[in-house]
Amino acid sequence: MANRSRPINIHVMVTEEEKNIIEERSKLAGFKNTGAYMRKIAIDGRIFKIDHSPLQELSSHMTRVSTNINQIAKRVNSTDSIYKNDVQELKEMTEDIWQSLKSILSKLP
């Protein structure tokens, strides 16, 4: 025990129900170790788990727009012309991005 980075033990008594709640919250917060969860919650007071999936969707939209812009730029550089459909498609994709962004922002506190 002398070589441990945390040599001090704090003992807390809980009921079986409280133990189950603590273990469940620990797993939901992404902790594999209940002790690490208990230290984090005791020291910081709060743990926030953020769902990044809406941002991943937005990132996917941005990647598609970037790809289309690059394809259009190649075509313009080689043919010196741009097509109306290309511009319309970019407008639609940009609108999708704005809608996704508005949705994400509306869910923030």
Ramachandran angles phi, psi of 11, nearest 5°: -105, 130
Do 19 and 63 fall into the same domain? Answer: no
Do 57 and 89 fall into the same domain? Answer: yes
Whether the model clears a pTM of 0.75, i.e. scores above it, the answer is no
Do 60 and 94 fall into the same domain? Answer: yes
Do 27 and 67 fall into the same domain? Answer: no
Do 39 and 2 fall into the same domain? Answer: yes
Q: Are 22 and 37 in contact (CB under 8 A)?
A: yes
Do 65 and 77 fall into the same domain? Answer: yes
Do 59 and 73 fall into the same domain? Answer: yes
CA dist 62 and 65 (Å) reads: 5
Q: Find the mean pLDDT for residues 3-18.
A: 89
CA dist 57 and 71 (Å) reads: 21
What is the gyration radius of the CA atoms in the chain, in angstroms?
Answer: 25
Q: What is the pLDDT of residues 35-83, one digit of tens each?
A: 999 998 899 887 777 777 878 888 888 888 888 888 888 888 888 888 8
Final residue before a domain boundary, out of 13, 32, 49: 49
More confident residue, 2 or 107: 107
Our count of domains for the chain comes to: 2
Do 23 and 61 fall into the same domain? Answer: no
103 contact partners, CB below 8 Å, separation of at least 6? 54
Confidence of residue 20 (pLDDT cuts 50, 70, 90): very high
1 contact partners, CB below 8 Å, separation of at least 6? 7
User: Nearest to residue 107, comparing CAs of 71, 57, 68, 62?
Assistant: 57
pLDDT exceeds cutoff 80 at 2: no
Range of the domain at 73: 53-107
Do 63 and 43 fall into the same domain? Answer: no
